[in-house]
Amino acid sequence: MNMAENLDRKVVDGFGDEWSRFDQSALTASELQEMFDNYFNIFPWEKLPPDAVGFDLGCGSGRWAKIAAPRVGKLHLIDPSPDALGVAKRNMLGVENCEFHLAGVENIPLAEGSCDFGYSLGVLHHIPDTEKGLCACVAKLKKGAPFLLYLYYRFDNRPFWFRAIWKMSDILRVFVCRLPHSPRYAISQMFAVLVYFPLARASKFLEGMGVNVEGIPLSHYRDSTFYVMRNDALDRFGTRIEKRFTKEEMKEMMERAGLENIIFSETSFWTAVGYAGRGDRAR
């Protein structure tokens, strides 16, 4: 773990392995668009200036950039994993307004106050100091520029029994994530077959019978392909650092980082957009 760079090299290597195995090539265009819309439904595209310049922090496979890039003037894709960045470059072939940077959150190679927007989805909860990383992102924004953030939530809107099930699964994650890549991958795929798929399809069946399935664990995968379940099982059980936040904790952290007028999505926990403010940012 490198606190100076605010990253854990084993986590970075793990994501490089994940995106090499799941390069998103098996996703249909409609499925990718639906996933994108679920996160970006609150992003203020209409407020961006013409030829807006922004960044994707922790771009991974480039799946979000593939849809975001055509909407802006220039998009910087940033990731500390050479394997992940290689996948992103392949996925973005033919897209000419992108620039790729092998870098972490503490050494973003962009001038402070230079960007019209930024986003980081599912990344900053996997680094040693989430708030410090968020401050580093906000520092790159122009005044009033929007920043879209997704962090794992702490199930603060879920009942006790739901949180108890998650805690049991987290014990498994702590064990699995420390294994070498191959057995980690194999075990995660077993979970996808034996847990994710049955619960997701059972939820789909029950929903068809008129049952409200929102409280069933993994019910949000009921319309997902098995490929997505396999990818997310590896993502869930293969990552050494996983931090979670309540909605209020996330809002307060965004405000301390210098973001204002924060709005949370109604469809994705916890996804929020805030705007770079005028005051001094936390460091």
pLDDT at residue 267 is higher than 90:
no
Which tokens go with 222?
């009921």
Computed over every residue of the chain, the mean pLDDT equals 93
Task: For 235-258, write each residue's pLDDT tens digit.
Answer: 999 999 999 999 999 999 999 999
State if pTM tops 0.85. yes
User: What's the confidence (pLDDT) of residue 282?
Assistant: 43
Domain ranges of the chain: 9-154+244-276, 160-237
Report the interhelical angle of 82-91 vs 9-21 (nearest 10°).
30
Band of residue 172 on the pLDDT scale cut at 50, 70, 90: very high
pLDDT confidence of residue 266 = 84
Residue 279 has pLDDT above 60, yes or no: no
Q: What was the pLDDT predicted at 283? A: 41
For residue 281, the model assigns a pLDDT of: 47
pLDDT at 2: 57
C-alpha to C-alpha distances, 58 to 116, 263, 280, nearest whole angstrom: 18, 22, 25
Domain 9-154+244-276 bears CATH identifier 3.30.200.20: no
How far is the CA of 231 from the CAs of 102, 151, 162, 177, in angstroms? 23, 18, 22, 14
Structure tokens at 114: 């230079």
> Sign (positive/negative) of CA torsion 250, 256, 259, 263?
positive
* Residue 211, helix vs strand vs coil: coil
Give dist(CA 244, CA 154) in Å, integer: 5
CA atoms within 13 A on the CB side of 224: 22
More confident residue, 233 or 3: 233
